[in-house]
Structure 1
Amino acid sequence: MAASIEQLLSSLSNLEDPIEGLRSLKTAALTLPLSTLTERLPAIRLDAVFRLMASQNREQVDLCVAILERFLQALEPIYIAQNYKEDLQRGLYHPDDSVKLLAISQAGRIVECSEAITEILNNLELLKQIIMCIGGDKIAVAKEAIKSLSKIARTTVGLDVLFGSNLLASLKAVSAFSDVVRYRVYELMVEISSVSAESLNFCANSGILSQLLDELTGDDVLARVACTEMVTALAATLHGRQYLAQEGLIDRISNMILGADSDSFSGLYLPGLVKFFGNLAVLDSPQQICEHYPAFLRKVFEMVEGHETSMIGVAVDTLGILGSTVEGKQVLQKTGTRFNNVFKRIGHHARNAPTELRVRSLDSISSLLFLPEDHHTEDLLAMSESWFVCLSNQPMDLFRSIATQPFPELHCAGLKVFTAIANQPWAQKLMIESPGFIEYIVDRTVDPDKDSKDAKFDLVKALVKSKTIAEVFGNQHYLRLRAYLREGAYYVKAISTVAVEGAE
């Protein structure tokens, strides 16, 4: 079979119509195991396939791309760089996007290889063409170009080449193509900046990051929406947050939230700003962020109590994130009855909202009520209990009714609330006092699908792992739960049959 590949390759140069030969070569390439190709390919030249790929015939191009994808996959990046670098560079000028994708993806493989990366870094023309691909019409090509350039920037040498040569001018030139392309360049800058403080310094000194921050707080509402997500990604790293603070951006975003009420278009960008602060609070300190930027928490509370479903969803999610840490719960508790009213409103959404918002509300409730066992202080347990009982007149009945819904997403979200409070003694007492609750927990027949069975199993596991469960539930119920855990989520009790003489 290997010899036939060599014959097929050598015959391509002599064929008047190479389509049939390419079809046969593709079949042979896909038939052979990759390990066999890896052994044989270094002795085989692929120049004929690269040459035939420079065609206007769509089928011929597609066949060449498929063959080269298979063959190059079997070759080491250093070998590709030394033997086919020029062919890949020509591919970047091809009008067909599939050829550009092939060339960029292989360049990405090369720059990930420490032995081969210099072959790319020393070729500024190739790098410039990859940058130009960011401005292409095909989003897949642009994304692949961003990915490859991000890989190049993971080394100091790569950063020097991208930002210390005329390539920076190429980046700025391509960003001027259109608004969409400019946002792609911003995306590249954020990806590079996220790697290290050093890489962020390169991006900051380029002036492109400053341009991104200016657009976020500028007058163009749509630009604010696009840039908010990128700045949120930049804030995911400590050095990124420090940079944003130094640039005064966090204060500026807080002021934007304050001024949102007077901006009729704030509904477009406000959710992104709220998410930004929510993530910031969890990554840094909920107390510090909420104390320094009180406008954030006030706005979240207002959004929960508002009437716009999309805003409510974002606010509910944000409170779930904020309250996922003990410190975040304590920050909310300090607001007193204000948060109790807001939490009661989340309970209302869990009962009455459209399904998606009901599930998001239930997930937020679960996050807010969960307490790690090593934080079971008297104050925190009392706080959690007070929040639970303010959700509804009969919160146990409420969540049990949701957990018995025939809709899997609601069924699982209801069970998740019980799982969140399963390790807390006050909740265990409510469970044991709720008629039929234990029977419901150990009844596998009420869980309609795999996700529901898994959610029920998680609840049982959380109960059994609790240090207080045996004391609160009593030995008999505790042993039933342990038996359920031992049998697993999908256990089916065998039904024995007795044959009766004369029965049909």
Structure 2
Amino acid sequence: MRDPNYSSEEMEIENDTGDWTVEKLNKVKDQFLAQRSVSKAISLLEELLGTKVDDIDDEIWTDVHDLLIVIFDTIPIQIMLESHQIVLLSVINHSPDKVIDLIAYHYIEPNISKITEVIKTSALAITVALARRIPGEPCYESLARILWRFIEVKEVVKEFEEQLKNDNSQLRFRVHHVTSLALKNKPADNGEGLNLLVKAIIKEVESQDILCALSALEILCDATSDHVENAKLFQQMGLVRKIYEMMQTLKSEPEGGFLYPVCVRFFAHLSVVDPEALEKYPKFVDSVLDMVYHFDCLDAPQRALAFETLAVMSSTSSAKKIMDGYKGEYKMDKSMNHFGAACASGPVELRIRHLDALCLMMSKFSTTSDSEILNRWFNDLGEPFPELILSYLKKPFVDLRISTLNLLAVLMNFEWARKIFFHTPGFTDYLVDRNIETSADGNQLKFDIIIKIIESMSPAIEPPDMLRLKTYRHQGVYYKEHNPELAMENQ
């Protein structure tokens, strides 16, 4: 029923069955804003999307988009669901994908915390309708950010299962995207619905299509990172053993090269949440250390992967103990020796990645035992390594200096490191020299390092050196020394 407050001019526009134009859209929008109400918004929504929306020219989509925003901003979502659910359902079922994207992104997602229970129960038809639209290219990501919350609603899971029968892998992976978000956001909810959808991803891993297998492994790898619950789920489903067996064959197959690095990364993340995996799957450790030992034979991405994986899998206290006493073919002391050599060779971009990986390894500690292990590993980098660090701090490459400063900041947490560096010739002179570092971030990092060193009250620092550091701190981050000769010349 039409709102009795409509003007005759509005009625004339409503009865106009001609094509929508920019002028018509702007006129309707202006009239609507002049007398804005929920009932008018509902009527206008029905009229606008009651036409064959696909016929609206792409050139006026921006204007249609703006009008829809105004309409949806006028209708509180609770009122829409309570009193006009049929209208919203019709819009979701019959509008083009870009309209669905707008509804999901602008209208439903911002209000999702207020309506979750409603669209699980009395307005469940809305959720199922949204699930049905997940294959849409412009809208699947916006829909996924909503739908992962309903991964255990049987009607939603049933809809996804139907869509997973599609021969088009691209469309299947839009459903997998929902599962991926569920694994990341609510890993503890390992119910029947989630298990069914995870099994569908695992099935993709076994695909003969390399791209499908790679994409599926990427999803599972990301889901393992920092989520113990997912790691346990994957082990229960036999996925970990399956990937472990895949690694043994992929390494020797040229076409499996893309999959192999992802398998390595999967186990690295697994070892963070389940350090015992390092002992359960020793061939994984051997594979990584083999890459480290032969880093000079690898291409740049694999070389970076080798040391970044070593850093990740050695990050927890339990993992440090396991790796420090590893009894396999390769040894950690030699691995660290290769780590030091890698940091000193290759393109600057690659050296930066190695320094960042070493920084990660050294930054993860919580016990005295951790410190002792890291001390041994640092010494295994090679005797010249502190001099290498000092030389990098003076190089004319900002990114290299920043990565080196980040590493130095981590090392200054340890007394053994302070002792090493303050016995390295030229280290104190570098710290108090204000003419070397040119970037704002670098100056701040260096200043923070000096404060950390002062607060440590380390016995490794001689009193005259401590006085120089305190003077630097007192002068501040960006202090510049006064040059009397330059001042005389200016005068």
Normalising by structure 2, we get a TM-score of 0.82
Does residue 316 in structure 1 map to residue 304 in structure 2? no
Shift of the alpha carbon at 1:26? 6.4
Q: Name stretches of at least 5 consecutive residues in structure 1 with no aligned partner.
A: 1-5
Candidates 20, 23, 29, aligned match of 2:23: 20
Q: CA deviation at 1:382?
A: 5.1
- In 2: Cα distance, 1:315 partner to 1:472 partner: 35
CA distance, structure 1, for counterparts of residue 28 and residue 462 of structure 2? 72
> What residue identity is the alignment partner of 1:149?
L
Aligned-residue sequence identity (percent) comes to 20
Deviation of the 1:186 alpha carbon:
2.0
Higher mean alpha-carbon deviation, 434-443 vs 214-223, is at 214-223
User: Is the contact between residue 356 and residue 407 of structure 2 (CA under 8 Å) also seen in structure 1?
Assistant: yes
Q: Is the contact between residue 135 and residue 177 of structure 1 (CA under 8 Å) also seen in structure 2?
A: no
2: CA distance between counterparts of 1:320 and 1:186?
30
The worse-fitting range, judged by mean Cα deviation, of 479-488 and 54-63 is 479-488
Structure 2: how far apart are the matches of 1:147 and 1:46? 26
Match of 1:437 in 2: 427
Q: Aligned equivalents of 2:374 and 2:120: distance in 1?
A: 58
Deviation at 1:491, TM superposition (A): 4.4
Deviation at 1:101, TM superposition (A): 0.9
In structure 2, give the amino acid aligned to 1:345: H
Q: Any residues of structure 2 matched to 1:284-363 within 5 Å, and which?
A: 284-285=274-275, 288-304=276-292, 305-306=294-295, 307-335=298-326, 338-363=331-356
* Residue of structure 2 in register with 1:190 after alignment: 180
8 A contact 1:112–1:151 mirrored in 2: no
Given the alignment, which residue of 204, 207, 213 partners 2:202? 213
CA distance in 1, matches of 2:7, 2:475: 60
Q: Distance in 2 between matches of 1:110 and 1:392?
A: 57
- CA distance in 1 between counterparts of 2:291 and 2:168 reads 34
Write the letter of the residue equivalent to 2:113. E
Distance 1:79 1:450 in 2: 52
How far 1:126 sits from its partner (Å)?
4.0
Q: Distance in 1 between matches of 2:207 and 2:257?
A: 16
Query: Which position in structure 2 is the counterpart of 1:3?
Result: none
Rounded to whole Å, the distance in 1 between the matches of 2:22 and 2:194 is: 47
Q: Is the 8 A contact 2:45 2:71 kept in 1?
A: no
Q: Which runs of 5+ in 2 are unaligned?
A: 1-5
2:149 corresponding residue in structure 1 = 151
Partner of 1:369: 362
Say whether the 8 Å CA contact 2:118–2:124 is kept in structure 1: no
After superposition, the Cα gap between the structure-2 partners of 1:243 and 1:324, relative to the gap in structure 1 and judged at 3 Å, is closer
Shift of 1:188: 1.6
Task: Judge conservation of contact 1:19–1:60 (CA < 8 Å) in 2.
Answer: yes
Query: Which residue does 2:247 correspond to in 1?
Result: 257
Question: Cα–Cα, structure 1 residues 52 and 214, in superposed 2: closer, same or farther, change >3 Å?
Answer: closer
Q: Where does residue 271 of structure 1 map in the other structure?
A: 261
Question: Partner letter of residue 64 of structure 2?
Answer: C
Deviation of 1:160 after TM superposition, in Å, equals 4.0
Instruction: Indicate if the aligned counterparts of 1:174 and 1:182 stay in contact, CA closer than 8 A.
Output: yes
Checking the alignment, whether the CA contact within 8 Å between 1:92 and 1:129 is kept in structure 2 is: yes
- Structure-1 residue corresponding to 2:78: 78
1:450 and 1:173 map into 2 onto residues whose CA distance is 52
SS at match of 1:63: helix
- Matched-pair contact (CA < 8 Å) for 2:231–2:274: no
How many Å separate the matches in 1 of 2:208 and 2:279?
Answer: 28
1:364, distance to aligned residue in structure 2 (A): 1.7
Q: Aligned pair 1:489/2:477, yes or no?
A: yes
Tell me the distance in 2 between the aligned counterparts of 1:275 and 1:255: 15
Q: Which amino acid aligns with 1:315?
A: A
Change in Cα spacing, 1:45 to 1:220, as seen in structure 2 (3 Å) is closer
Q: What secondary structure is seen at the aligned counterpart in 2 of 1:112?
A: helix
Superposition deviation, residue 393 in structure 1: 4.3
- How far apart in 2 are the matches of 1:112 and 1:59? 35
Give deviations 1:251-297, integer Å, cap 9, x for gaps.
Answer: 22222222233322221111111111111111122xx1111110111
CA contact (8 A) 2:269 2:312 kept: yes
Aligned counterparts of 2:310 and 2:146: Cα–Cα separation in 1: 37
Distance 1:351 1:170, change over 3 A: closer
TM-score (normalizing by structure 1)? 0.80
Q: Match for residue 67 of structure 1?
A: 67
Task: Quote the Cα distance in structure 2 between the aligned partners of 1:436 and 1:162.
Answer: 66
8 Å CA contact 2:128–2:155 kept in 1: the answer is: no
From the superposition, tell whether residues 328 and 9 of structure 1 become closer, same or farther in structure 2 (CA, over 3 Å): farther
Number of equivalenced pairs:
470
What is the alpha-carbon distance in structure 2 between the residues aligned to residue 65 and residue 76 of structure 1?
A: 18
Which residue identity does 2:99 align to in structure 1? V
Q: 1:406 aligns with which of 387, 396, 399?
A: 396
* Partner SS, residue 324 of structure 1: coil
- Listed as ranges, the matches of 1:385-424 within 5 Å are 385-424=375-414
Deviation at 1:172, TM superposition (A): 2.1
What is the deviation of 1:246?
Answer: 1.6
Moved more, 11-20 or 303-312: 11-20
**Aligned alpha-carbon RMSD (Å):** 3.6
Q: Which residue of 1 aligns with 2:238?
A: 248
Output the CA distance in 2 between the equivalents of 1:406 and 1:135: 50
Q: Is 1:459 the counterpart of 2:449 in the alignment? A: yes
* Letter in structure 1 aligned against 2:417: A
Instruction: Find the residue that maps to 1:51 and give its secondary structure.
Output: helix
AA in 1 matched with 2:367: H
Report deviation, 1:457: 3.0
